[in-house]
Amino acid sequence: MQQYGLIVIGGGPGGYEAAAIAASQGVKVALIEKDLLGGTCLNRGCVPTKCLCAAAERLHAIQSAAGFGITVDGSVIADYGAAVSRAVGVIDTLRTDVEALLKDVDIFHGEARLSSGHTVVVGANFLKGRQIIIATGSKPAPLPIDGAEYTLTSDEFLMCRELPGRVAVIGGGVIGLEFASVIAAYGREVTVLEFCPEILPGIDAEIAKRLRTYLSRRGVKFVLNARVTAVSESRTVTYEAKGKTAAVESDLVICAVGRRPVLPEGLAEAGVTLNERGFISVDDRYETASPGIFAIGDVNGRCMLAHAATAQTRVVTGQTAVFGAVPSVVFTLPECASVGMKTADAEGLKASKIPYSANAKAQASGDDAGMLKLVYRESDLTVVGCQAVGAHAGDLIAEATIAIDSAYTLRRLALDTVSAHPGLSELLQAAAAAALS
Which residues does the annotation mark as catalytic? 421
Exposure string for 379-405, b = 16+ CB within 10 A, e = fewer:
eebbbbbbbbbbbbbbbbbebbbebbe
Q: What is the DSSP secondary-structure string of 235-303? A: -EEEEEETTEEEEEE-SEEEE-S-EEE---BTHHHHT--B-TTSSBP--TT-B-SSTTEEE-GGGG-S-
Q: Residue 179, exposed/middle/buried by CB under 10 A (0-12, 13-18, 19+)?
A: buried
Give the strand pairing for 138-140 and 259-261: antiparallel
DSSP 8-state assignment for residue 382 = B
β-pair partners for 247: 238
Please enumerate in sequence order all residues whose Cβ is within 8 A of that of 69, keeping only pairs 6 or more positions apart, or say none: none
Q: What is the DSSP secondary-structure string of 131-154? A: EEEE---EEEPP--SBTGGGSB-H
- For residue 334, which of 404, 376, 396, 383 has the smallest C-alpha distance? 396
CB atoms within 10 A of CB 113: 18
- Evaluated on CA atoms 420, 425, 427, 431, the torsion sign reads negative
Distance CA 215, CA 224 (A): 14
Cα 225-228-232 angle, rounded to 5 deg: 150
Cα torsion through 155, 158, 161, 163, rounded to 10: 100
